[in-house]
Homo-oligomer: A and B are copies of this chain.
Amino acid sequence: MPPIKRTKFKLAPEQLLEMFYWLKLIRAFDERLSILVKQGKVRSGVYTGIGQEAIIVGTCYGLRREDFICPLHRDLGSFLMKGVEPRVMMSQMFGKVTGLSKGRDSALHSGVDELGIFGNTSMLGSNLPVAAGLALTFKMEKTDNVVIAYFGEGASNTGDFHEALNFAGVQQLPVVFICENNQYAYSVPSEKSMAIDDVADRAHGYGFDGVAINGNDVLAVYQATLGALARARGGDGPTLVECKTYRWHGHSEHDKAFYRTDEELAMWKSRDPIPTFTTYLRTRHVLDDAKQQEIEGKVKTTIDEAVDFAMNAADPAPEDAVTDLYA
């Protein structure tokens, strides 16, 4: 595997604080969802990305509105960063008319073309050919927009993964493939679903580079993504960036995750991306108590408001069960 491209970057304090805000907001969004499930208020399957936030923040932070993302089920945060209002996203989880699906589905199953967000089906891996198709149009137009496509290490075992990455390699498409390797696909540890350590190695079978990085370090993710984005925007084709991480919760909120040890979880909790980044900001005097309180306050207000909005929003009308099927 080639060494990680060390792209130089400089982020202004406000930018670092913005990243901090996103980390906090995304964490809070998922944590609230988890509570809402336990309260029986959200009935959707909820697959939190708690513990994995650095990946979303690090990969989405450098994106333009025109760039497209193709998220996976743990990536609701990427919808927010790409411009979906928290109240809309929360409505989506409640199945209300104010959600992206107008109640037809929940979670990631809806997108916004104008914001560059593709909303996938549940079929793992099936977002990747779509990502290639989006990227193909950017190549056709000779723009320097890009597509970021996310997938779990488990999904990297699907046929669609292979067909999509191969096509992207052949066509040198402007797409960055982000593997969120959280060690498990539902209950199955990655060593029982692939005989390799790094999903990044698969990139070489498609003629482009793959790198494995610390997915819990938001700046490392940002840096690796920057390099991959630069390559893609410059017409040099795809990159696979594998972010090693861990999900704190079960596969879904209904999964007790007996298949892993408390020690393993504790070890990974000690690598929580948020405190790490907080310390980084504090030692550099970008963040102080006041700023942190202000940001945490804003996060709380935003989430509270989103939940209120969603809970008070209307259910769809029964008649709409059969509309919006055909254009």
Give me the interface of A with B, judged by CB distance under 8 Å.
157-163, 166, 169-170, 172, 192-196, 201-202, 204-208, 237
Contacts and interface: CB of A to CB of B under 8 A. Distances in A.
Closest 5 A/B residue pairs (Cβ): A159-B159, A195-B207, A162-B162, A169-B195, A202-B205
Contacts of A162: 157-159, 161-163
Contact of A157 (B157, B163, B193): B163
B192 A196 contact: no
A202 B201 CA distance: 9
Nearest to A170: B195
Contact of A170 (B170, B192, B202, B204): B192
B158 A170 contact: no
A32 to B, nearest CB: 37
A163 B170 contact: no
B207 A204 contact: no
Contact of A166 (B169, B172, B194): B194
A196 B172 CA distance: 12
A157 B166 CA distance: 7
